A = this chain, B = another copy of it.
């Protein structure tokens, strides 16, 4: 099954000037697509930090998505940082340069053309006949950080990341976590292909615990859920 990591690049998120909206958008969307999100990281606009994170995620996950840092100003360093991650230079791509010149006319200065300077060997994805392609270096898809653009670009290429969706069973109990721990440990051991999570909801009165079971193996999921339900369920 495909796995993914999301790298959110931007001092503005870490300093609280803007709340990240792309993580909250992507989490349920990848779930729906059946692509297993294994890591989200928010890092500053620093080439060394970005390059190290991109390189590590590229090796560990099927797909890597970056968000932010692709504009024309001095704080937009994602393209050179991804290039650094893979040990290649940035090169001005003639297709991107032509689009920018045609769109911006006389306003297409050197700063604007930095948006056309991408890692050598990167691919352009034109899915959905978008006006400007997505830039992808190996398994790293480089998205803009502006939420409306991130969403537009992601939806155009989302089909490329699809796997088989995971199914979930939920079991509620008014027992405490220490009381249900042995049952869950036994279930986790008997059905290793089923991921079991336990989430106390102290804010409910009386408190309850939500237990979730998740798997792509529907038979194992049903058997595990029946076992847990018989062991601990006492509320709906």
Contacts and interface: CB of A to CB of B under 8 A. Distances in A.
Interface of A: 11-19, 24, 27-28, 31, 37-45, 71-76, 104, 107-109, 111-112, 114, 146, 148-149, 166, 168, 176-182, 184-185, 188, 195-200, 202-203, 212, 214
Nearest to A32: B16
A208 to B, nearest CB: 13
Contact of A73 (B38, B76, B177): B177
A184 B72 CA distance: 11
A16 B31 contact: yes
A64 to B, nearest CB: 14
Chain A contact residues: helix, strand, loop or mixed: mixed
A72 B15 contact: no
A178 B45 CA distance: 18
Nearest to A73: B198
A27 B18 contact: no
Leading 10 A-B pairs by shortest Cβ distance: A111-B181, A112-B178, A73-B198, A40-B42, A16-B27, A16-B28, A41-B41, A74-B185, A111-B178, A72-B178
